């Protein structure tokens, strides 16, 4: 009941005209970002943070706008999967399996509509899951001491590579790099200077927003240049929508199953949206069995992964909001936004900033309704966007990113840093070192160090204090599992995901 009260208060925040407007702007921008080639959700949110920041929006308004962008980008990613067989982002990969065959049969509009409905169901159920689960987890997390938090941060890094991660050592290297950058600046506990080399601009440390924009947006530009893919994609044709009520009812059970699975994999550390959509699709195939025509354009094969990845995206907000530990790139970027608004996520968030959190959760519900309403009539416009050639798009995106960074403090030095991070991001990506742990390290570094210090100060320097309670031992063993499991089950899962795609591509070549 208490939760319901909070939620009603949240709606009071979310339904003010100003906030509704920001939710709508966010939803549209998000879908654009998801639909445009080369702009994933993490990228899009990263570019918009400095803008929201320098516009002086209130915390509630910027959070509402950017979570809508996040939700919208998850919607947008599916458009190119279905029409062109090119996933807009990684989680949308499974959608190509049945979405593209449907489009080939001249049912592109139906596939898009069904995926919009499945996405809506997925997000809706996951938001309800978030409403139920988050306060419970937040209450539980109040028992965490410094040692448990330190272990939890380690767990976050250990599972970040994901169960399908290739080289865990590279994840650790990336995390160390991020954490090291986070130590640059004046030490908050003692006032000592660390790694500042007497450069005044480094006293406050390196701004993680600059790092995020550089690593994601600028390195993406460099990749586009390397691959010489300046030309636009072939314009996709869209048929007239002919969707009957029975078609919608037909995919509802699938969407419900996919949502539950997706939500679970979103909440669990190390799983994420890609695995959510994969699990939903494979399970659905097994449940329906030979009665379905999976891989040949079964609408259920579109609904399952879409419900799964949208549910996972919202599920991933649970650990981010309640523990301050994000499980994916995009939630890491959302965490960056919270920290830059001076809001420390974690269990206290639900008591100290109750109005804000519930406002955002309510905004997610409202945003989802908006997205559904936008997506069915406006799909024609989004489809046109697909054929914008990257040779014009990427320079303008880079411009917007640079302007955002510049507007934070009007300093050219920030722009040099952005370019530097872009180069570093390019080289690291070439070496298959993941970038998200770098970002997460920069974000979590100060908190992680603080908790280590608290834990060790209490125990008077005894390092075994980090492993003394049952709870911390549990977290450490989970972290260890998170590091080890990818070596055991990772290759199997990866092979299955690749097989699923290979099966699709073979008949296509025969055409």
Partner 1 sequence: MIGDRILGILMLLLAVSYGWEASQFPEPFGGAEAVGPETFPLLLAVILGVSSLYLIVKPDQDQPWPGVRTLLDLGFVLAVLAIFSAMLAPVGFVISTTLMVGVLCWRMGARPLPSVLTGVSSAVVVYLLFNFVLELHLPAGILKLS
Residues that bind partner 1 (CB under 8 A): 54-55, 166-167, 169-170, 172-173, 176-177, 179-180, 183, 187, 189-192, 194-195, 218, 221-222, 224-226, 228, 230-231, 389-392, 394-396, 398-400, 402-403, 406-407, 410, 412, 415-416, 418-419, 422-423, 426, 430-433, 448-449, 452-453, 456-457, 460-461
Judged by beta carbon, residue 69 or residue 108, the one nearer partner 1 is: 69
In whole angstroms, the minimum distance from the beta carbon of 330 to partner 1 comes to 24
Judged by beta carbon, residue 6 or residue 224, the one nearer partner 1 is: 224
Give dist(CA 380, CA 239) in Å, integer: 10
In whole angstroms, the minimum distance from the beta carbon of 373 to partner 1 comes to 26
In whole angstroms, the minimum distance from the beta carbon of 176 to partner 1 comes to 4
Stated as kind and residue range, the H or E segment containing 355 is: helix 354-385
Judged by beta carbon, residue 221 or residue 361, the one nearer partner 1 is: 221
In whole angstroms, the minimum distance from the beta carbon of 195 to partner 1 comes to 7
Alpha-carbon distance values, 404 to 22, 23, 26 (Å): 18, 20, 16
In whole angstroms, the minimum distance from the beta carbon of 66 to partner 1 comes to 16
Contacts of 142 (CB under 8 A, 6+ apart): 347
For residue 328, which phi and psi values (nearest 5 degrees)?
Answer: -150, 170
In whole angstroms, the minimum distance from the beta carbon of 190 to partner 1 comes to 4
Give dist(CA 363, CA 35) in Å, integer: 22
Cβ-defined contacts of 64-67 (< 8 Å, 24+): 64/14, 64/19, 64/22, 64/23, 64/26, 64/359, 64/360, 64/363, 64/367, 65/22, 65/23, 65/25, 65/26, 66/26, 66/334, 66/337, 67/26, 67/317, 67/334, 67/360, 67/363, 67/364, 67/367
Judged by beta carbon, residue 392 or residue 467, the one nearer partner 1 is: 392
Judged by beta carbon, residue 21 or residue 136, the one nearer partner 1 is: 21
Contacts of 454 (CB under 8 A, 6+ apart): 146
Judged by beta carbon, residue 134 or residue 211, the one nearer partner 1 is: 211
**Within 13 Å, how many C-alpha atoms sit on residue 471's CB side?**
12
In whole angstroms, the minimum distance from the beta carbon of 360 to partner 1 comes to 23
In whole angstroms, the minimum distance from the beta carbon of 226 to partner 1 comes to 5
Whose CA is closest to 45, among 28, 29, 58?
A: 29
Give dist(CA 132, CA 351) in Å, integer: 15
Alpha-carbon distance values, 77 to 124, 237, 293, 504 (Å): 18, 18, 24, 19
Judged by beta carbon, residue 136 or residue 396, the one nearer partner 1 is: 396
Judged by beta carbon, residue 341 or residue 356, the one nearer partner 1 is: 341
In whole angstroms, the minimum distance from the beta carbon of 236 to partner 1 comes to 21
Judged by beta carbon, residue 194 or residue 496, the one nearer partner 1 is: 194
In whole angstroms, the minimum distance from the beta carbon of 193 to partner 1 comes to 8
Alpha-carbon distance values, 134 to 126, 127, 257, 335 (Å): 11, 10, 21, 16
Are 149 and 411 spatial neighbours (Cβ–Cβ below 8 Å)? Answer: no
Whose CA is closest to 434, among 179, 224, 218, 166?
A: 166
What string of DSSP letters covers 385-451? HTTS-HHHHHHHHHHHHHHHHHHHH--HHHHHHHHHHHHHHHHHHHTT--SHHHHHHHHHHHHHHHH
Judged by beta carbon, residue 102 or residue 394, the one nearer partner 1 is: 394
Judged by beta carbon, residue 8 or residue 396, the one nearer partner 1 is: 396
Stated as kind and residue range, the H or E segment containing 494 is: helix 490-510
In whole angstroms, the minimum distance from the beta carbon of 424 to partner 1 comes to 11
């Amino acid at each position: 009941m208490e939760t319901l009260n909070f939620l009603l208060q949240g709606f009071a925040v979310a339904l003010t005209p100003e906030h509704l407007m920001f939710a709508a702007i966010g939803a549209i921008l998000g879908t654009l970002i998801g639909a445009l080639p080369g702009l994933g959700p993490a990228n899009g949110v990263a570019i918009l943070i400095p803008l929201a920041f320098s516009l002086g929006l209130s915390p509630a308004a910027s959070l509402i706008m950017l979570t809508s962008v996040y939700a919208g980008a998850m919607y947008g990613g599916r458009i190119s999967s279905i029409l062109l067989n090119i996933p807009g982002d990684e989680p949308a990969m499974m959608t190509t399996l049945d979405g593209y065959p449907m489009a080939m049969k001249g049912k592109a509009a139906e596939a898009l509509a069904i995926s919009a409905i499945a996405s809506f169901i997925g997000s809706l159920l996951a938001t309800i899951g978030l409403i139920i689960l988050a306060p419970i987890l937040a209450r539980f997390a109040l028992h965490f001491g410094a040692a448990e938090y330190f272990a939890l941060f380690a767990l976050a890094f250990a599972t970040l590579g994901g169960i399908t991660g290739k080289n865990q050592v590279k994840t650790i290297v990336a995390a160390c790099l991020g954490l090291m950058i986070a130590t640059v600046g004046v030490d908050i506990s003692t006032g000592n200077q660390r790694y500042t080399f007497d450069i005044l601009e480094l006293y406050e440390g390196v701004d993680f927003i600059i790092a995020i924009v550089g690593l994601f947006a600028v390195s993406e530009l460099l990749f586009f240049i390397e691959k010489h893919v300046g030309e636009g994609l072939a314009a996709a044709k869209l048929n007239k929508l002919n969707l009957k009520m029975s078609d919608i009812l037909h995919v509802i059970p699938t969407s419900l199953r996919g949502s539950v699975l997706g939500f679970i994999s979103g909440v669990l550390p190390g799983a994420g949206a890609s695995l959510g959509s994969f699990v939903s699709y494979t399970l659905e195939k097994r449940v329906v069995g030979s009665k379905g025509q999976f891989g040949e354009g079964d609408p259920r094969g579109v609904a399952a992964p879409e419900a799964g990845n949208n549910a996972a995206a919202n599920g991933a907000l649970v650990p981010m909001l309640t523990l301050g530990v994000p499980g994916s790139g995009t939630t890491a970027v959302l965490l960056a936004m919270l920290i830059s608004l001076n809001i420390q996520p974690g269990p206290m968030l639900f008591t100290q900033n109750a109005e804000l959190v519930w406002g955002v959760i309510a905004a997610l519900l409202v945003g989802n309704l908006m997205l559904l309403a936008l997506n069915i009539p406006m799909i024609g416009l989004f489809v046109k966007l697909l054929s914008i050639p990257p040779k014009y798009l990427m320079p303008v995106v880079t411009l917007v990113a640079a302007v955002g960074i510049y507007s934070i403090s009007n300093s050219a030095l920030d722009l040099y840093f952005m370019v530097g991070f872009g180069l570093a991001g390019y080289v690291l990506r070439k070496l298959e070192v993941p970038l998200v742990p770098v970002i997460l390290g920069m974000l979590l570094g100060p908190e992680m160090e603080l908790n280590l210090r608290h834990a060790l100060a209490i125990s008077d320097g005894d390092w075994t204090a980090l492993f003394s309670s049952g709870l911390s031992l549990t977290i450490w063993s989970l972290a260890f599992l998170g590091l080890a499991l990818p070596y055991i089950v990772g290759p199997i899962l990866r092979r299955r995901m690749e097989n699923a795609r290979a099966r699709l591509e073979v008949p296509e070549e025969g055409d």
